[in-house]
Structure 1
Amino acid sequence: MNKVKGIARYLVNRLVERTLNLSQGRNVGCFAFVDEDGYIAAHGELVDGGLNGIPLRMLLGKVTSMKGKSLIEGLKQLPDNTVFISSRPGKTGLITDVSGVDFFNLPLVNIGVKNKGLAGVGIIYPKAEYYDLATKSEELSLQTLTTCIMEEEKEVLRQTNQLGFRYLDVGEELEIVDLPEMPVVKKKFNGRDWSLPRRQVASLDGDFAQQLVSKSVEIGQGREVAGIGILDDEGRVRPHGRVVAGGIGFVPARLMASSAVDITGKSLYEIYAELVDPQAVIVHTHPGGTGVMHVGDAQAGPATWGRPIIAVGHSKDGRITGATVIETTDQLFDLADEDERLNLEFFEAETPETEAEIRNRKFAIAQEYTGLCKTIEIN
C-alpha cells in the first residue's frame, strides 16, 4: 500500500465521540479503507474495547465471517486497502511500539483522546525494519534471564532502553481532511479461499519430546522450551527445525517461528500465514507440570495461529510426566467468542449480582479451555 495522504474528519470525530461516551479508559476500534486517491474515507462498524482492549474476533467479524476461524484465517480475508484504527484514551496519537503493525501487517492509525477532545492522529506503516525491531525486543527480554552478574544485566537493560528510543520514530502524524461522509461498510469480505487444515493429533515423537525436555532442564529457572513440529499422515508430530528457549511461562511468537523458518524482515502475519507449514504444530515444555494447558496456551496456538499446540510436562530431573494437545475446534472458537462478549458485558453490569455472574462464567470458560486438553502418547 502506498503512503496514506489523510483521514476523513468525520471518521476521526466518530471515534473521539464514541471514546468519550464510553469513558472508563476504554478504547474504540475499527477497520477502515483507503480510497483510490489515498485517503482513509470509509470504515467498518466501530467496536468498543473491553477488559482486554479491542476484541479482535468481534472486530474481524464486522468485515468477514469468523465462524470456525482462527485470527490468522480472519486476517487473511481483509482486502489490500485495509487499515486498522484505534483510539487512545488519555494519550495522544503518538505511536511508540510496533506490536500492532507486526501482528496485522497493515497500516495502523492511533487517534489520541485527551482532555475531552482530540489529541492528534498518528500512523505507522508495515516495514521490514520494524519487524526486526520486534525480534530484537524479544531477544533482549530473554537476555536478562541469561545474565550471571549485575554488569551483564545492566548492559542488557541499557540496550533495551536504547532500543526504546528508536520506537519514538516509528510513527508519523496523519493529516485530517474534510471528505464527504460515507455509510458504514457492512460488506463481508470472504473471497480468499484460504484456511488451515484441521487434523487430529495422536502422538508426539519421543526423541523430539526428550530433546525439548533436556534443553528445558539444562537452562532451568522454569523457562519454557519450544519447537515447531510437523503432523505426519499417521497423526504423529515429528520435529521440524531447531529448539528455542523462551521465558518463564511463555515463548515469544516470533522466536517460536524462528525455530523453523527465516523471520528476517517479516511480520507475524506473513510468518504464520505464508512461511510456517500449514501442518505445523507448536510444541513446548511445562516445567514442573504434567502438560495440562490453559487459556493462554490455547490463544498462543490454535485460537490465534490456527495450529494445534502441545505441552510436555516434566520434573526437575527431566522425567516426562505427560503431554496434552489443544486442537483447532469449533468449541475453542465458541469459547473465545463468548469470552470477548463477557469482556464487554462486564461494563454493562449494574448490580453486584450481575457482575458476579459474569466473573463466574469467565472462570468457567477458563476451566473449559483446560477441558479441551487431550492426552497424547509419546513414542
Structure 2
Amino acid sequence: KLYNFLDSTDKYYEQYTISYIEDSYFFGINYIVRIVKMGGNETRELPIINLSDKNLKPGTELWNSTRDNVREAMEHHGWFVAEYNSFPTELHQSILDAAKELLDLPPEVKLKNENHKAGHGYITMISDGQPVHEGLGIDQVNDIQQCRRFSRLMWPDHHDNDRFCETVHAYAKMQSELEQLVIKMLFESYNLERCAEKHVSGSRYLLRLLKYRRLPNGEPNRKFISHTDKSFISILHQNHINGLMLKSEKDDVWYPFTPSPTRFAVIAGDAIMAWSNDRIKSCYHKVEMESVEVRYSFGFFSFQQGIISTPEEMVDKDHPLAYKPFHHDGLLDFYETLEVHLKAHRTMTKAYCGIPRTYQP
C-alpha cells in the first residue's frame, strides 16, 4: 500500500526509492517511511506521526496507538516528525514574512534584544565579515504583552505592531498546543497523566526566529554544528530550504529533515532526558545548508519555571536514579559558564545535576 503523502518535488527523495511503507496503526495515520538508497544497501526509517486527525481523542484506540508511537519514537530516536495541519495555512506564510522583516533589520537594532538566559537574545555567527546565521528570541511568547514589548523594542517609531504581534502570538499558540499534546501523550504513556497539567501550567515558552545563509565564498554552510537543546521539548519548523539533520539515538544515524508547511520536528531537550531518567535521550541535531536561497526557521522551546525532578515511576533496578532535582534556569546559567566546545554536548546535564554511579560487580 502506498499513501500519497510524499512531495514528489522533494530533492532528497530524488536520490532514493521508496521500498515500502509499513503501518504502525491499521488506519494508516501513523507511518514509517522506509527509504533504500539506490545503488547501495543503506536503509533508514523516518518516524512520522500524524497528530492532527480529528478523531485523535483521549481514550480511543487511535489515541492509544498514537501515544505509544510517540513514546517509542522519543525513546528510540530522541525525536519524531509530526504531521500537524491544525492551523491556518496562511499562518505559515505570515510567520515567514514576519521573520524576514525582523531579521532584515540593522544589526544595531537586533542587538537591543538582550537576555541573560542562554540562547534567548540575539545571536549571530560571522564568516569573512558576513553573518551566516542569525537568531532572535521572544521569551514568554504566549503572553501577548511580551510580544508587544518585543515589537516596540525592534520598531520603536513606525511599525504595525499589532500585525507583527498577532502573527507571532497566533503562531506561538499553535506551537504550544502541539507541544502540550506531545507532553500529554508522553506523560500518559508513563502513567504520569496526573502530573501533565501541573507541568503544562509551569511551562515557559521561547520562540526563536532564525536565518541561515551560504558562506560568502559560496561553500555550503556547515558551521551550525551538532548540538542538543537545553529545553524540555523543542519543536522546529521552517521554510522550504533543506538543511536540518537529526541524529537517531539508538541507530547512530543522521536523517535529513524534509520540510513542508505542516511538518514539525519534535525533539527531546536535555531537561526531558533528566526528567525521564535517561529513558529519552536529548537529540543531537545540526544544519548543513547548501542552497543559495536563505533558510528561515523557527525554534519553539519549552522550559520549566520551577524544579524538575525525576518521577519515582521512572526509577527501577534497570534505571537507577541518575539525576538530582534541578532548576531549569539553573541549567541555562551553568551552560553559560562552560567552554565553547562543551556547550554543544548533553553531557553538561550530567555535570550539572547527575548522580555519580558506584560500580557494583
Normalising by structure 1, we get a TM-score of 0.26
> Which structure: greater strand fraction?
2
Q: Which one has a bigger Cα radius of gyration?
A: 1
> Which structure: greater helix fraction?
1
